Amino acid sequence: MIPVIGYKGAKVAVLGLGRSGLATAKALRAGGAEPLLWDDSAEARAAAEAEGLSLTDLTRNAAFEGVAALITSPGIPHLYPHAHPVIARALELGVPVDNDIGLFFQSWARPEWDNFETPPRAVAVTGSNGKSTTTALIHHILQAAGKPSQMAGNIGKGVLSIDPPEDGEVVVLELSSYQTELARALTPDVAVFTNLSPDHLDRHNGPGGYFAAKRRLFAEGGPDRAVIGVDEIEGRFLAGQMAQGPSDDRVIRISSGQKLEGFGWSVFARKGFLAEWRKGKQVASIDLRSIKGLPGAHNHQNACAAYAATRALGLAPKLIEEALHSFAGLPHRSQLVGEKAGVRFINDSKATNVDSAAKALQAFPKIRWIAGGMGKEGGIAALAPHLGSVVKAYLIGHSAPDFALQLGQTPYEICETMERATARAAEDAQVGEVVLLAPAAASFDQYPNFEKRGEDFTARVAALLA
């Protein structure tokens, strides 16, 4: 646990008692503060009381008397589309509003660091797609290289639940726009921006607000090194803002598909090969094509980001290359879950929108595609340019009939259930083909979340291959 500093003897309100909220309450108490806890859910309140935490109804008019700050969980709106009433009341009274990320950066440096040979460092990863894989890959590379490392944030533990870092340790954080937008302190040593595509637009009042939330990690965080994906205009804009000029190697530009040779430091992947360039010269190259845990151009971008971040931390290219080969991938993200008779089965249940599904469809040449669920606005019409690799689609869930109408000349079968879709795709698949679950839809019509959907697919595959 990271005890929160700066609030000893003070009352601090905590809104939202999920994983991050409970961890925040305990870290505040460990730092000598008096946490005042509330959640709109009676179930969450009961869970907090079961852990020995006391509650305070923050919806009462007098609830903020003597309160030094309000700490809110990331999922609770504080501005758009409208502020939660408790947060709105805090803002009216001038009570500072923060989140656990802000408390972490405010509190994680400790006096004992003065005796460390190498002070601990923090790497923070944000972006629209690839955050989790990039974060896990950085953590994996560090561990494979024998470097102490912890992983937290949107993946792994809550940030305040980690152990106090030891000498030379690196803490790798995955941060969403919800977290970067509100944190009052943001001071990573290395910050990573993977890419940007439309997401959470209601929460940020449009794409400009969404990008602004991501940008705060860099503009206000002031990292020593900034690793920035420049395949979209927003990334190029951000790199231009952070760098003094193209030769400024404090900014490491990354790309999947573009050559980036005219900069002080760049890492890019083209035709399956990662290349590192510094000051006009290529200094390293890695063949990514045989790395099973990182298939497709989108994962090659993740590899570039992780490579650049760990190079910024001082790791040698050979060490990084060895670690890339031992990375198994994350569950539900281009995860290889089975292989038999020349047919691979890939679980990409996390592909809940057309953008992430498009990346999955571009990763393999011949695909038996399992798609469907609770479709989003526009369905899968935007995937038309990426259907050339699809041998046949097997459609499930609520949106199966709608998706069928948007497939054009692509053969399809409406299967309704995961059990039938997996069985039919496996029965039809030929040597060299991939059975790919990339739903391009939410899971809520048949499953509580994308993880349960992916677990069902994995279980069906295991049964078929047994």
Look at residue 466 in the predicted model and tell me its pLDDT: 86
Q: Taking all residues of the chain, what is their mean pLDDT, rounded to a whole number?
A: 95
Look at residue 22 in the predicted model and tell me its pLDDT: 94
Q: In sequence order, what are the beta bridge partners of 255?
A: 268
Confidence of residue 1 (pLDDT cuts 50, 70, 90): very high
The average pLDDT across 151-177 equals 94
Confidence of residue 6 (pLDDT cuts 50, 70, 90): very high
Look at residue 100 in the predicted model and tell me its pLDDT: 97
Confidence of residue 85 (pLDDT cuts 50, 70, 90): very high
Q: How far apart are CA 180 and CA 173, in angstroms?
A: 11
Look at residue 67 in the predicted model and tell me its pLDDT: 97
- pTM of the predicted protein model: 0.88
Domain chopping of the chain, boundaries: 11-98, 105-325, 335-465
The average pLDDT across 331-350 equals 93
Q: What would be the CATH architecture of the domain defined by 11-98?
A: 3-Layer(aba) Sandwich (3.40)
List C-alpha distances in Å: 123 to 142, 153, 299, 301. 11, 11, 19, 17
What order of strands is seen across the sheet that includes strand 97-98?
A: 34-38, 11-15, 67-72, 97-98
Q: Which of 343, 308, 307, 339 shows the shortest CA–CA distance to 323?
A: 307
Residue position matching structure tokens 């929460």: 203
Q: Is 227 in contact with 305 (CB distance < 8 Å)?
A: yes
434 phi/psi in degrees, rounded to 5: -120, 130
Q: Does position 61 have pLDDT exceeding 90, yes or no?
A: no
Q: Does position 200 have pLDDT exceeding 80, yes or no?
A: no
Write out the two tokens for 30. Answer: 């460990």
> pLDDT tens, 388-408?
999 999 999 999 999 999 999
Look at residue 292 in the predicted model and tell me its pLDDT: 85
Q: What is the DSSP string of 161-175?
A: GSPPP-TT-EEEEE-
Q: Does position 325 have pLDDT exceeding 90, yes or no?
A: yes
Please enumerate in sequence order all residues whose Cβ is within 8 A of that of 152, keeping only pairs 6 or more positions apart, or say none: 158, 159, 161, 162, 171, 172, 173, 174
> pLDDT tens, 357-382?
998 999 999 999 999 999 988 999 99
Q: How far apart are CA 246 and CA 244, in angstroms?
A: 7
Look at residue 221 in the predicted model and tell me its pLDDT: 83
> pLDDT tens, 234-283?
999 999 999 999 999 999 999 999 999 899 999 999 999 999 999 999 99
Q: Is 440 in contact with 380 (CB distance < 8 Å)?
A: yes
Look at residue 198 in the predicted model and tell me its pLDDT: 78
Look at residue 42 in the predicted model and tell me its pLDDT: 93
Q: Does position 315 have pLDDT exceeding 80, yes or no?
A: yes
CATH H-level, domain 105-325: superfamily: Mur-like, catalytic domain (3.40.1190.10)
3-state secondary structure of 40: coil
Helices 317-325 + 131-144 axis angle, to 10? 110
Look at residue 51 in the predicted model and tell me its pLDDT: 86
Q: Which of 358, 361, 350 shows the shortest CA–CA distance to 378?
A: 358
Q: How far apart are CA 36 and CA 381, in angstroms?
A: 48
The residue ranges of DSSP E strands in 247-353, in sequence order, are 251-256, 265-270, 273-278, 281-287, 335-340, 343-347
Within 10 A of 454 (CB to CB), how many other CB atoms are there? 25
* 376 or 68, which is more confident: 68
Q: What would be the CATH architecture of the domain defined by 335-465?
A: Alpha-Beta Complex (3.90)
Q: How far apart are CA 421 and CA 258, in angstroms?
A: 37
* Binding-site residue ranges: 127-133
Q: How far apart are CA 234 and CA 237, in angstroms?
A: 5
Q: Does position 175 have pLDDT exceeding 80, yes or no?
A: yes
List C-alpha distances in Å: 432 to 329, 420, 435, 439. 21, 22, 10, 21
Look at residue 157 in the predicted model and tell me its pLDDT: 87
**Helix residue spans in 262-379 (DSSP H):** 296-312, 317-325, 354-361
- In angstroms and rounded to an integer, the radius of gyration of the C-alpha atoms of the chain is 23
Q: Does position 213 have pLDDT exceeding 90, yes or no?
A: yes
Q: How far apart are CA 77 and CA 206, in angstroms?
A: 14
> pLDDT tens, 412-448?
999 999 999 999 999 999 999 999 999 999 999 999 9
3-state secondary structure of 419: helix
One-letter amino acid at 411 equals: P
* Binding-site residue ranges for ATP: 127-133
Q: Does position 231 have pLDDT exceeding 90, yes or no?
A: yes
